[in-house]
Chain A
Amino acid sequence: MSNRFADVSTLKSELAGVDYLSDDGIAGVVYLADRLEKPILVEGPAGTGKTQLAKSVAEVTGARLIRLQCYEGLDESKALYEWNYKKQLLRIQSERGDEGEWDEISDDIFSDEFLLTRPLLEAIRSEDPVVLLIDEVDRVEVETEALLLEILSDYQVSIPELGTIEAKQIPLVFLTSNNTRELSEALKRRCLYLHVDYPDMEREKEIVMTKVPDISENLADQVARVVRSIRQIELKKHPSVSETLDWAKTLVLLGVEKIDEHTAQSTINILLKYQSDINKAIKELATADGVTP
């Protein structure tokens, strides 16, 4: 059992120390992941700090962050390991002429020297503590997911020519997903599940105040309120936390003290990226009645 964190509240304040404001759910799951030695599958809308969570945890624990960005068509040779063909070829050619040494060569060309490690294998073989981030895992095909299963459940990689390589230390593993497709049951079963949603108003206000140091508390409060109201409207794409931060920064640069209707309308394009959303939000916010939930 690894004990990177003393308890949930300590972890929470440690994360706050590196400017990541977590809540009970987030800190609790990270803490459990460490204790149970299980990977965390982080899901949620874009821009809610899923990737940032892994980075912050790495910073807190002083571990190296190894990142595997997933994309359609990702395969074994990009994720796990690859044999260095060219080097192997060179090796064979340099020995050409000396007959009888074939056994030696064949042993030799499938040794460590000719192995190119890719992120997953690297995380396993690392001597020092590592946080492994497998980003946007929903982008790979279902078949490729299977590549991850061995490493996620047993922290080991099997290479036919070399045998099984077991982890020197158990890395903390984060998988993030934007939920564009359903991940396989096998993958989910091996992970702890964490859904990160948009923060509630109080937390968003705190995040704004941490990340935008020049902002007054009053303005941060207003920013959080407006964003909450906008998120209640049915839109194509709701403002993410990073967009909220951009907006707050803009307001500070413009020297705004108090958000009135005019400022909101003229800067709303920072929060919303679709023209139809912008029009809808402006129209909605100008009516005092609001949406009845």
Chain B
Amino acid sequence: MTASEAELDADVHGIGEPILDLLNGFVIQLRAAGLPVSLTETLDAMEAVRHVPIEDRQTFKYALAATLVKHHNHWKAFETVFEVYFSLRGDDYLIDGDSVELPEFDDDEQRQEGGGDQQGGGGENLSPEELAEMLYQSLLRGDQPMMRGVARQAVRRYAGMEPGRPVGGTYYLYRTLRNLDIDGVLERLLEQEQNEDGDASEFEQRLARDEYQARANQLQQEIEAEIRRRLVADRGVEAMAKTLRKPLPEDVDFMHASREEMVSLRKAIYPLTRKLAARLQRKRRHGRKGPLDFRRTVRASLSYGGVPAEPKFRNPRPHKPEIFVIADISGSVAAFARFTLHLVYAISGQFSKVRSFVFIDGLDEVTRFFDGVEDINDAVHRVNTEADVVWVDGHSDYGHALSVFWERYGNEIGPRTSVMILGDARNNYHASESWIIKAIQERARAVHWLNPEPNSYWDTGDSIVGEYAQYCDGAFEVRNLRQLEAFVDNLA
């Protein structure tokens, strides 16, 4: 136990300087990771830690989370910062400064492992075979302390960590996992399961696999935690917090989102479209009231002795928004287009009258693909394979696509139609035909242009978004959820 921790222990019951400093540092790290932590929340956190036992890591963590993190999407970022920042504090998590040659196993850990049927015999001289056996056993039983032991051993043996070596945690993780061959062990476990239970159906096998997979994931987390701890010991908290920093979900760029990020983005779209729907409909609920309803007013006045104290109004005519979405699905915005299609799908679930169009250099209506479709992936697949969007060469041609749109559907735009165009307006130096946007705008209620490119790239190279934007009610940079949300907020 280091000196600062001794102080920390001494101060469990009051709130002392070291804790204040510690929390302050923690909040600074959280802010650096992009979490909006206000001053009041920091004060709350300081108040909160007075009431929880600091030795209890989980409770301590939840106390901080409850006061500092007010958004579920931020939990992951919080957890990373917490694990890094407090990784070297607390008995359970203490490791020696020298991260390569860990002199000996913690005693209590040894005992926990000894509970099994293998003799750890001082972690150092565990052979690879013994380690593999331990891994097998720990997964078979789902034994948490044993997994932790395996993780520590494995990292020490296989990760090949050297102090000061400028490689990221992923590299070490990869090396460790490759050497442990978890997939192989999983196969073995499943085979054994099968042998014991001769005629296991596909369904039962599936359940068994899920179970072992969950345990393997747990083990992987232990390994990650171990690597992280050693890296922190080597490089210091701040450097690690910085390397591990990832953009918050609302800041993830649509164009460069990874597969997992895409999944969480998709989930976030639905609340957003509901909000969009609410925005557009709220007008009719809160705006003006309808004309005076004479009959109901007289009826209500009876309870006040004939005094018309409570005037009644008719409900205003409901406003039914009609939305046209025109989306570029060419290669240059491929990642954004995938997201766009999900957005279109989500929007069409909220509004009764949504028509969607996609284009590259030709244009096609795809409303029918989204109609009554249960599975969005089906719809996206059909759009990508069946929609007739290629005219000549499959390179974006906004001019031609727009003229096709105007020719075929222009007449259907009315004063209640909102038009949303999604694309980067990179036109490959074709004619812009921007008069069409002007014509659309004259007919429609509003025309909005959403551009997935950063503002600074607009009108560079073959981008002609400026030319179109002059006729739009607004052109917006929408590269991440935060911007999309801001767009929805400002709408209507």
Contact = CB atoms under 8 A, between A and B. Distances in A.
Interface of A: 8, 24-25, 28-29, 31-32, 35-36, 38, 40-41, 43-44, 72-73, 85-86, 89, 93, 141, 179-182, 185, 188-189, 191-195, 201, 222, 225-226, 228-229, 232, 234, 236, 260-261, 264, 274-276, 280, 285-290, 293
Given A180-B271, A228-B214, A274-B374, A28 B52 contact: yes
A288 B202 contact: yes
Interface in B46-80: 47-48, 51-52, 56, 58-59, 62-63, 65-67, 69-72, 75
B271 A28 contact: no
A261 B201 contact: yes
A280 B66 contact: no
B19 to A, nearest CB: 16
B83 interface: no
A195 B207 contact: no
Contact of B210 (A38, A228, A260, A274): A228
B485 interface: yes
B375 A260 contact: no
B58 A181 contact: no
A180 B44 CA distance: 27
Interface of B: 36, 38, 40-41, 44, 47-48, 51-52, 56, 58-59, 62-63, 65-67, 69-72, 75, 201-207, 209-211, 213-214, 217, 263, 271, 274-275, 278, 282, 285-286, 303-305, 309, 374-375, 485
B75 to A, nearest CB: 7
A181 B75 contact: no
Contact of A229 (B210, B303, B304): B210
Contacts, number: 125
A228 B66 CA distance: 26
Contacts of A38: 44
Contacts of A36: 44, 47-48, 51
Contacts of B211: 225
A85 B375 CA distance: 53
A184 to B, nearest CB: 11
Given A24-B58, A86-B303, A287-B202, A73 B274 contact: no
A86 B213 CA distance: 67
B140 to A, nearest CB: 16
Contact of B62 (A25, A222, A232): A25
Contact of B274 (A180, A222, A264): A180
In the A-B complex, the 4 residue pairs with the smallest Cβ-Cβ separation, listed nearest first, are A276-B374, A261-B203, A288-B205, A188-B70
Contacts of B207: 222, 225-226, 229
Contacts of B75: 195
A44 B304 CA distance: 47
Looking at A8, A32, A43, which has the most chain B CB atoms within 10 Å of its CB? A32
Contacts of A229: 206-207, 210
Contacts of A44: 72
A25 to B, nearest CB: 5
Contacts of B202: 261, 286-288
